[in-house]
Structure 1
Amino acid sequence: MGRHSLPDVRPASAGRARSPRRRNVAIAAALVLAVAAGTGIAARAGLLSFAAPCERDAVRLDIVASPDIAPALRETADRARRDKVTSDGRCLDIRVTARDNFKVASALATGATGITGATGGTGATDATGAGGSSRATDDSEGSDDSKYQVWVPDSGVWVDRAKGSGDGVPLTPAGNVASSPVTLATVPTAARTLGWPRKTYTWSDLAQTATGGGLPRVGSADPARSASGLLALSAIAESAQQDGAKGETRTAATAKLLSERVADTDTQLLDTLARDDSGAEKGNPRRNEAVLISEQAAFTHNSEGNGVAGLDLFYPTDGAPALDYPYSLVDQTELTTDQSRAAMRFMALLGEDRSYRTLEKHGFRAANTPVTGEVLRTAGGRAPQPYEGEDARPPSAEAVQRALGLWTVTVRSTRLTTVVDASGSMAAPVPGRSGQSRMDVTKASLLRALSQFTAEDEIGLWEFATRLDGSKDYRVLERTARLGEPVTGGGTHRERLSDAFAALRPVPDGDTGLYDTTLAAYKEARSSYVRGKFNALVILTDGSNKDDDSISRADLIKRLKALVDPARPVPLIAVAVGPDADRAEVDRIAKATGGAGYEVSDPADIQSVLLKAIMLSAASTTP
C-alpha cells in the first residue's frame, strides 16, 4: 500500500529515484508487446513517440475502471488526445467506462467481456484521425455491446474473484496504477471520543471498541461488493488471531455488527454518516459515526464542501491494507497488435509525473511515491497517526477468503447438505500428517468449518460408498436442520452433527458410488429448498465413480440440468480430495447445477476451499 512519510517539500522529479513500478511496467510492456507483435515489431522506431503526428486513424482502446479512479483515468486519456500521444504513429483513442468492480469480476468469471451496466458516464474520448474533436459519451452511446481491452478495478481481490475456478476470461497483469490505504474514518465528535489524533489502535482494538457497546457506531460497505469493506474485515480477522478463540469470537461479533449497519456500496456508505452538529441529525442512532473506507474516499468526501462535517482518519498501528488498482489486459490473446501496444502505451503514460499529479488531485497515492501533504490533510490524516513507515503487508489471499466466507454465512443464513466419500481409499495415509488418513484430516477440517456457521444455518450429513445401505450407495446420517435446533435427548443439532462428523469411518473394500449419490442428494436438496437462505449441496470425494451399476456421467449431467430451477438455485460444490481425485470430472458435474468443482491435495485445506466456494456460489446464485 503506502503508509508513507509526509514530506515538507515534495522532491523534484529530476531527483526522484526510478520507481520500481516503472521498471515493472517497462518489463510488462516488453513482454506483452513481444507476445502481441514479435520482438522485431516491438522495437520499431516511434512506438513510444509522444508528439509525432498521427500517421493513420486513431487506435481505440476501451477501459473499464473502478468508479473512484475512472475520472482520473479519463482526465489522462483526454490529455493524451490533446497532446497527440501516439502508439506506433497512431493517436490514442482511450475510452473509460466506470463500472462496479464486483459486477465486472462476476462477468469475467463466467466468460463475459461486454460493457454493460456502467456506473456513471463513460467520459469517452473520441480522437479522430490526427487528434480530431473530442466528445464525452454517456452510458447508452455505442459502448454497451462493445468489448473492453483493459480492466482497472480498485483491488487485486477482484482479479482473484474474476479468476473464479480458473475457467473465466484470462487476465494479463501489467502493473498498478495507484494506491489508497483502507482506514477507519470518523466524524469529529467520535474522533475526539476515541482520542484522535494522538491515541492509536490496532485493527483488533478498533473491533473491540466497536463491539463493546460504546461509541462509535461503525458501518461498512458490503464486503461481498466492496474491497474496502473486505480488506478491513480481513485485517480485523488477522489482527485478532493473536488472541486465539477470543479473537475469533471478536471477529465474528464484528462481522455481525457490521452486517446490521451495512451499505451496498462505498458511496452509499458515506451517505449513512451522521451530520455532526447539524441539528436534528445530531445523535441519530440510525446514522453511523465511523465507517471503514479508503483514504481516497475520505478525501473526496472532505473535498465536496457541502456542509457535511469532515472526516478524521485512524490508521491502525498494525498496518492498513491498501486498494492497489491493478491494470490488467483482458483476454490478451484476442487483442490486436495495435490494441496490445496501445494498452501498454497508456500504462506507461500513467507512470509519468503529470499523471501522478492527476492521481493526487483526485486523492490517490501514486504508486511508490511519497504521499503529499495536501492529500493527507484533506483526507483527514494527522500526525501522530501512523501513516508513515514501510508498506503494510496485505492480508493473505487465504485471510481474504476466510473473511468473505465468514461474512457470507453471517449475513445470509446457509442451508448445506454435506455428502462425504466413505470409500475404502479414504483410509489412505496423508503424506506429512503423522499417519493420519484422508478421512481423519477431512473430518478435522469439516469440524473447523462447522465452527464458522451460526445457530440459524442449516447443515446435514450424508456418507457414500458402493452398496452402503442395501442396494443404495449412500446413507443419511443427519438430516439438514438448524444448528441451534434442540434435539431429542438434549443438546442441539450442532452437537449431534459434530458427533456424526467425528464418527465417519472408511468402508473397507467400498468403492466410490459418486453418480447415483450425487443425483439422489441433489434431488433431496432441491425438494427441501428454503427461501431466504443460501442453499447448496457439498460433495467431498477422493476418486471418480467406480460403481458399475450406476447411471453414466452423461445421464447424471442431463438429469441435473433438468432439475435446476433458476428461481430456487441449489449449486453443487464438489471438492476433489487427494491425488486420485479428478477435479475436471467433478467440475463438469457441478457446472450442470450452476456450481463449480475444486481440488485440494491436502484434506486440511478443505475448510478454506469450502468457505471460498460458498462465497463464490452465494455471490452468483442470489435468486
Structure 2
Amino acid sequence: MGRHSVAATAKQPGRKLILSIIGAVVVVGIVASGVFLWVGGYLNPLFASAEAGCAETEQLAVVADTSIAPALTEIAEKFDAGSDLCVTTEITAQDSADTAAVVASGGQEADVWIPESSVWLDRMNATATSLGQSPPEVDVRESIASSPVVFAGAATKATELAAEPVSWARVLGGTLPTILPDPEASAASLAGLLALRGHSSPDDPRQFAGAMIELGKSIPASTGAAFGTVSAAQDPAVVVTSEAQVAAYNLDDPAEALVAAYPVDGTVSLDYPFVRMFAPDAATDEDAASDAAAAEEGVATRAELLDAFEAAVRKATKTLAADGFRAPDGTGELDITGLGAEAPSASAALDGAAQLEILRAWSVLTLRSRMLAVIDVSGSMEEPAENGLRRIDIFQQAAVGAMQKFSGEVELGVWVFSTARNGDLDYEDLSPIAPLGDAAHSQEIAGIIQSLPARLGGATGLYDTTLAAVQRVRETYDPEKVNSVLLFTDGKNEDENGIDIDTLLAELAKIDDPTKPVPVIMIGFGPDTDLAAMQRIAQATKGAAYSASKPEDLGTVLVDALSQRSCRPNCG
C-alpha cells in the first residue's frame, strides 16, 4: 500500500475479469505453495489474487473541480469495474479555488488533482509563497479536456440577444448587460477578464479598469446564482462562464434552459490539466518499499495504477463530450441543448502571470469602500468651463456618473466646503457615511448633488476642511473596508484665518495611525488648482493627487483614483 492508500472492503472480481478467466485457456500449476493461473503465455499471480477476491484493494484519491467531477466519476466507475487491478478510484468534487488553498497550505491528501484551469496552479504557488512555504511539488501532465469561455443567456431571450452580435467590445462599451461571477472563485470569470483586457485599448488603461469597476458593482454569490439572475431578469443579460458550466446547468433539466453566445471577437479556453499531486522525485522510502513489494508480488504499483487511470480518462472522450467538454486541443462536436455543435475558435488562457495580475487589480477595484466625499462649493465653481457650462454643472454630471459606478455595498457620506460655510467652520456635513444600498440614503445624496448650484459662495477653505475630514473618517473607522477621503476642488486654499499647509501636514503626522489608514484622494480641476499642495497632502496620507485639466475629465480621473488604490503612494 502506498502513502495515500486506504484499506478498503475486499472487492469481488469485475464482470470483465470473470469472463476473461472463463474464456481463457487456463493451465493450473503448483509453484511452491501458491496457485498461479497460466494466462496468455505467462504466469500471472494478479489473477490468482483476483480469483480469491482481492485480499485488499488499492484506493486512488482524485480531487476534481466540481464542473468535471460528474464525468470523472462515471469514468472511474467504468475503470474500476473493467480493470483487473483490484483498485477503487474515489472522485471528490471540490471547487478549484478551495483545493488550491488547501494544497498550498499542505493539507490536501490526494493522488490526483484535476482543476478547472492551469491558473489554479499559479494561484496555489502564489498562496504558498504568501504563507512562507515552498510551492508544493506536483507533476503537471497535459490537459484532459477544454472548455471555451462564453456568454450565457436565458433561452427565452435568445432572439433579443442575437439582435446584435455579442462581443467583449460591447462589454467594454457598457452596451451588453453582463454579470461576472467572482474571479476569485471562477476560472472562467478570470479568463474572461483576460479576454476583456485583450480587447481594450492599449493606449487607455482606464477603459479596462472602468469595465472592471462596472462588473464589480454586483458580484453574484456563485455561477449558479448568476444563472438564476439572468433567467429571472426581464431584460436580456449574459453571464461570463464556460461551455461546460452551461452544459451542466442544462443537463440538470432546469425550468428554463440557457444558451451559450459565442463572442464574435474571439474568446479564450480553459484547460483541465491532469496533476499528479507528488512529483516523481518526491517519493518517500515508504513509497519505494511499497512499490518494491508490489513488484515482488506481481501486482501493479501505485504509479502504474495512476498511469492506467490517466490513460482511461484520456480515452473517455465520449463521456467527457456528453458532459459538455471539448478535446484538449479545443476540437470536437457536442450535442447538448444550448451549445453550438462545432467548437468555436479559442486561444488557451495559459498566461497565468497575466491572470494573477488582473486578479490583484480586481481585488483592489472591488474592495468595499467607505468614503467621505468633500466637495468644493466656493464661488469660483460658477465660472464657465471651455464647453460653456459652469464648473459646478460639469461636476454634477461627473458625480452622477460616479454614483452609478458604485455598488450598493459602498458607504458614502457628503460634505461641502467653502470659507465660513458653517459658522466659523469651512465645511458642512450634509449626509453621514452610510451604504448606498439604502435607497433613502442614495436618494438623499442624489438630492444633494442636484442642490449644489444653490450652495455656491465664499472662498476655498481647503486645509481646515481636509484635516477635519480625515479626523471624521478615522473616528468612525471600519477595519473591514477601505476608509478614505475623496476631495474635489477647483482652487487653492484661500482661508486667511485657517491653518497653513505646514501646520496641516504636521497635524496629519500627529494623528497618523498605520492601523487606521485614511488616504486622501484629491481631485483638482480647472486652471486654478494648487497641484503642488495637493501632492504634499496626498503623500502625507498615502493617498493620491489628480489634476483634470478640464472639468469634463473628472469621470476618467475618478476611475484612476479608484483603480490605483493598491499602488499608493507610488503610483506611476
Q: TM-score range by the shorter chain?
A: 0.5 to 0.7
Q: TM-score, normalised by structure 2?
A: 0.53
Shift of 1:173: 0.7
Q: Quick one: which amino acid aligns to residue 168 of structure 2?
A: W
Note if contact 1:105-1:162 (Cα within 8 Å) is conserved in structure 2.
yes
Which of the residues 330, 348, 354 maps onto 2:311? 348
For residue 176 of structure 1, the aligned residue among 143, 147, 153 is 143
Residue segments in structure 1 that go unaligned for 5+ positions in a row: 1-43, 114-146, 276-280, 416-453, 461-475, 503-534, 541-605, 608-623
SS in 1 for 2:56: strand
Aligned to 2:338: 379
Cα deviation, residue 200, structure 1? 3.9
Q: Is 1:394 the counterpart of 2:333 in the alignment?
A: no
Secondary structure at 2:139 match in 1: strand
Partner of 1:97: 92
Residue of structure 1 equivalent to 2:228: 271
Structure 1 residue 321, shift from structure 2 partner: 1.5
Give the CA deviation at 1:498. 7.7
Matching residue within 266, 270, 275 for 1:319: 266
CA distance in 1, matches of 2:192, 2:45: 42
Contact 2:146 2:269 in 1 (8 A): yes
Question: Which one of 404, 413, 422 corresponds to residue 359 of structure 2?
Answer: 404
Name the aligned partner's letter for residue 481 of structure 1.
V
* Residue 171 (structure 2) aligned to one of 206, 220, 224: 206
2:190 corresponds to: 230
Residue of structure 2 in register with 1:360 after alignment: 321
1:240 shift after superposition = 0.7
Find the counterpart in structure 1 of residue 65 from structure 2.
66
Quickly say closer, same or farther: Cα 1:268–1:111, change in 2 above 3 A.
same
CA contact (8 A) 1:414 1:457 kept: yes
Which one of 187, 211, 228 corresponds to residue 254 of structure 1? 211
Report the AA paired with residue 229 of structure 1: S
- Given that 2:539 and 2:569 are in contact with CA atoms closer than 8 Å, whether structure 1 keeps it comes out as no
Is 1:482 the counterpart of 2:519? The answer is yes
Match of 1:152 among 114, 126, 138: 114
> Structure 1 306/393 Cα, relative in aligned 2: closer, same or farther at 3 Å?
closer
| CA shift in 2, pair 1:481/1:273, >3 Å | same
CA distance in 2, matches of 1:334, 1:414: 48
Shift of 1:302: 2.4
CA distance in 2: counterparts of 1:46 and 1:264, whole angstroms: 54
Aligned partner of 1:312: which letter? Answer: V
Deviation of 1:457 after TM superposition, in Å, equals 5.5
Q: Return 5+ residue gaps in structure 2 as ranges.
A: 1-41, 292-300, 371-409, 413-480, 486-508, 543-564
Structure 1 position 491, deviation (Å): 5.5
- 1:239 CA displacement: 1.6
TM-score, normalization: structure 1? Answer: 0.49
1:159, CA displacement in angstroms?
0.9
Give the partner amino acid of 2:353: E
Larger relative contact order, structure 1 or 2 (CA cutoff 8 Å, min sep 6): 1
Give the match's secondary structure for 2:57.
Answer: strand
Which letter maps to 2:360?
Answer: G
How many residue pairs were aligned? Answer: 349
State yes or no: 1:240 paired with 2:200: yes
Residues 443-454 of structure 1: matches in 2 within 5 Å? Answer: none
Higher Cα radius of gyration: 2
Aligned mates of 2:121, 2:534 — CA distance in 1: 36
- Deviation of 1:494 after TM superposition, in Å, equals 8.1
Q: Is the 8 A contact 1:296 1:379 kept in 2?
A: no
Change over 3 Å in CA distance of 1:291–1:494 after alignment to 2: farther
In 2, the alpha carbon distance for the partners of 1:294 and 1:48 equals 43
Partner residue of 2:178? 218
CA RMSD of aligned residues (A): 4.3
Cα deviation digits, residues 185-214 of structure 1 (max 9, x gap)? 122465433435xx5454233332xx24xx
| Distance (Å, rounded) in 1 between the aligned partners of 2:91 and 2:44 | 25
Deviation string for 1:101-139 (max 9, x for gaps)? 1111112222222xxxxxxxxxxxxxxxxxxxxxxxxxx
Alignment of 1:520-539 (within 5 A): none
Deviations 1:483-529 (A, max 9, x none): 52579x85599844887999xxxxxxxxxxxxxxxxxxxxxxxxxxx
Deviation at 1:235, TM superposition (A): 1.0
Deviation at 1:47? 13
Confirm or deny: 8 A CA contact 1:60 1:92 kept in the other structure: yes
Question: C-alpha displacement at 1:45, in angstroms?
Answer: 11
